[in-house]
Amino acid sequence: MTKQYATLTAEGLRIDDEETLEKFRNKMLSASLVSSMLQCPAQWAAGQLLPKFTEQDLDNAMTRGSLFHRVMEMLFAQDKNNRGKARAMELAGEVLEEKEFSHFRHNEEALEWLDGAIDNYFAMGSKPENVDIANYKGRGGIEIRVIGNIEGCERQFHGFIDRLSYGKNGGLIIDDWKTGATTKRYNPKDRYESGWAEARQQILYAYIINNEVKDESEEVKKARLVFPVTGEVVSIDLGNETYKQRALKDVSDAEKVFNKSCEDNLFEYKKQFLCHWCPLVKACPGGMSPVRRVKKAIDAYNSQPDIEELSKGLKF
């Protein structure tokens, strides 16, 4: 063991490294923290710890997402008449020269994925040459950080908006690039609530901006999830008061779970189908037993670190 970061107790993950626990205690709320606290606090804590002592595959959903985000960030920093597909492809080449993304340079599969995402982005009717990037607090609205208070919460909430632009009929539009392989469209009738976390994130960003502007004409009027891999766009219903209230309640509920986890130093297990995608699954006393029939779940389970790997930083 390199250093003992945490112990898997019968009820949850206990952090043994005081410095890490202190960092957790000081965290702000964010969309991903909210989702994680409502899903499984132990999985969240494990996700924070494992990169410290296990080898991470540099080619993963998150790093590919960052790659696409970076190309878009550079594309929308160009003059309007220089935002065509050819320019986007050129910029992709420049992004690959950056140190953070250099590991993708000879990864044919990832490069093909990126080309496909850029192709789809243009094929889906996007008109980047018509986009007026908004000014937000004195800077252009690309990859901008929003930070604010959420009703009923002690901690501040923060996050990054991929693109903030001016709407044709006034007001602001949030666009968020979602580079996953499936379109997430929230439907309240869906029992798995697919797409709710993504919708909630945009509702909260709009809430923060709309709370700080003085004039209604400066408010966020629209929010969209743009899925360049599937070629689809999902509009978020920002006017739906039920969704808004639920989003605020989710943040408040998640904060309570997070505060309690930090105070008790116990990040509890919450068994669920998604256990198969959790890096603790092979060691977790509270996790779901592996299913036998769902190939995606079996593959996900098999790709998780084994006990030997986990024991480099965790005690059982």
| Residue ranges that bind ligand SF4, judged by CB under 6 A | 40, 42-43, 269-271, 275, 278, 280-281, 284, 286-288
CB of 274 to ligand SF4, least distance (A): 6
Contact 200, 31 (CB under 8 A): yes
Number of H helices, E strands in the chain: 10, 11
* Burial class of residue 133 in the structure, from the number of CB atoms within 10 Å of its CB (0-12 exposed, 13-18 middle, 19+ buried): middle
Please identify, using beta-carbon distances, which residue of 78 and 304 lies nearer to ligand SF4.
304
CB of 269 to ligand SF4, least distance (A): 4
Please identify, using beta-carbon distances, which residue of 40 and 226 lies nearer to ligand SF4.
40
CB of 48 to ligand SF4, least distance (A): 12
Alpha helices, DSSP H, located in the chain: 18-25, 31-39, 41-49, 61-75, 85-96, 108-123, 196-212, 241-264, 295-302, 307-310
CB of 279 to ligand SF4, least distance (A): 8
Please identify, using beta-carbon distances, which residue of 20 and 66 lies nearer to ligand SF4.
20
Going by their DSSP bridges, the two strands 6-8 and 314-315 should be labelled as: parallel
Please identify, using beta-carbon distances, which residue of 52 and 271 lies nearer to ligand SF4.
271
CB of 195 to ligand SF4, least distance (A): 20
Half-sphere exposure of 142 (CA within 13 A, CB side): 15
Please identify, using beta-carbon distances, which residue of 144 and 278 lies nearer to ligand SF4.
278
Q: From the CA atom positions of the chain, what is the Rg in Å?
A: 21
Residue nearest to ligand SF4 (CB): 287
